[in-house]
Amino acid sequence: MNKFLLVSVLPVLLAILTVKLCASMATVGGAGAYAFNNNGIKRITMHKVNRTCNGNTTQYKCHGKGKHTGITKRSVSATETLLDQGWGAYWMGLITVGTPGQTFYTDFDTGSSDLWVPGELCGTACGGTHTYKPSLSSTYKAWNKTFQIVYGDGSHTTGVFANDTVNIAGISITGQPFAIINSASGMTSRTNDGILGMGYQKLAQGGEVPVIWSMYLTGALSLPIFGFWFGPVSTGSDTGELILGGYDTTKYTGSFTYAPVSVKGYWEFAADSVSLTIGSTTTTIATSINAILDTGTSLAILGPTAYVNTINTILGATFDSASGLYKVNCQTKPLSAFPNIAVTISGVPFVLTPLMYLEIITNSAGSTCYSLISSIDANDANGKPIWILGDFFMRRFYSVFDMQNDRIGLALSTSYSTVQTVPSTLFQSTTTVTPSSTTTKPSTTTTVSSTTMKTSTASSKFF
């Protein structure tokens, strides 16, 4: 695994790439007892934050049927307040662990399935600001079994499994398995106090039942469903929202497009294609792809290196080894010359316009534009290459994760149309082609063969 190095112009942008690589091991013994209270649907207000970056900060983390309807009104069960530390790189929410509850701001991560928080022995090595203290919890129970995650670049976390009461948005879970991290390497730049995994049990390092599924099995949630909404950065809002037990009908327009989960573990599904459109001409980059919807990855789209190189070549971008991203000429190239990028799922194109996948970083030296399309050469459990759709994609589309029907759903977010402000010195034109959410078939279509694509200078692999 390669870590991307940051330069001073990117202290916020490139803490964002948080792609999980599976190189971990954990063993547990025994099982915890579970008890819940507070049935129903819960809302968690989330806040965007960025990691404080110094050098290498890109972390690669390892590793019943029915119908439901949306809900229109709920009271706010829990709201956490965080300072916006700059341009948002990922999203955190409040949980408590122990009795009385000890506060942690965790990354709610659909790309993993374990809950872990820093322990007293980890100190600053784990990042964040809060540590779990077993001696202060009357409901703590030790497992004394090892939990270990080894990252592809050599960074790691090591700790032990335990059981304790976990509270999320007013839902209290007693005896929930989680990991207490006692040592770590390469994680001091993290601002979150741990990770709450929201993937399937197959990804759980100790085989434990993940928190969200436990809530459903024991009756704390009527449905094993949750929905994410990320607020637009350019409005000055630093909040997003996670709904447990349903989704928020006020945060999207139109209807959901669903895709069945194809491989349980990550939220993996089959997508039709990735394509680029300028005017009436569409270039199909890849077809019949395997995609993962991952809140723990902050870039817009990651895919196999060869395809990503082709996309960024069409954008006129060049790979920047210092940042690990592709740099785009936005000084002299008009915005209308950049394509719209569509990921088609279940026959519906989900379109990102240029200002949704280009990030403009401005400082005293001027403005620099980066492509939020990057490469990862990784395979799923069946050995098939994967694409990852991260937070900058999900900011535009409300996302529903449905464990009852084993499917993901996407709809046009209320944040879709809000884009960043463009400095007057950039682009020859500020006009871009913006299709509707139901883009019609273009008059000209070409398909790019993967055998003709460039090889990459930067890649990462699951191992």
Residue 280's SS3 state is: coil
Q: Which residues of 133-163 are buried (b: 16+ CB within 10 A; e: fewer)?
A: ebeebebbeebebbbbbbbbbebbbbbbbbb
Out of 109, 238, 320, 391, which one is annotated catalytic?
109
Q: How do beta strands 225-230 and 239-244 pair? A: antiparallel
Tell me the three-class secondary structure of 397-421, residue by residue: EEEEEECCCCEEEEEEECCCCCCCC
For 175, the enclosing helix (H) or strand (E) is strand 171-185
3-state SS assignment for residue 165? strand
In the set 153, 248, 294, 377, the catalytic residue is 294
User: Is 193 assigned a catalytic role?
Assistant: no
CA nearest neighbour of 179 among 135, 225, 132, 235:
132
Q: Identify whether 153 is a catalytic site residue.
A: no
Q: What angle do CA 201, 204, 208 make, to 5 degrees?
A: 75
- Give strand pairing partners of 349: 344
Q: Is 71 exposed, middle or buried (0-12, 13-18, 19+ CB in 10 A)?
A: middle
- List, by residue number, the catalytic residues: 109, 294
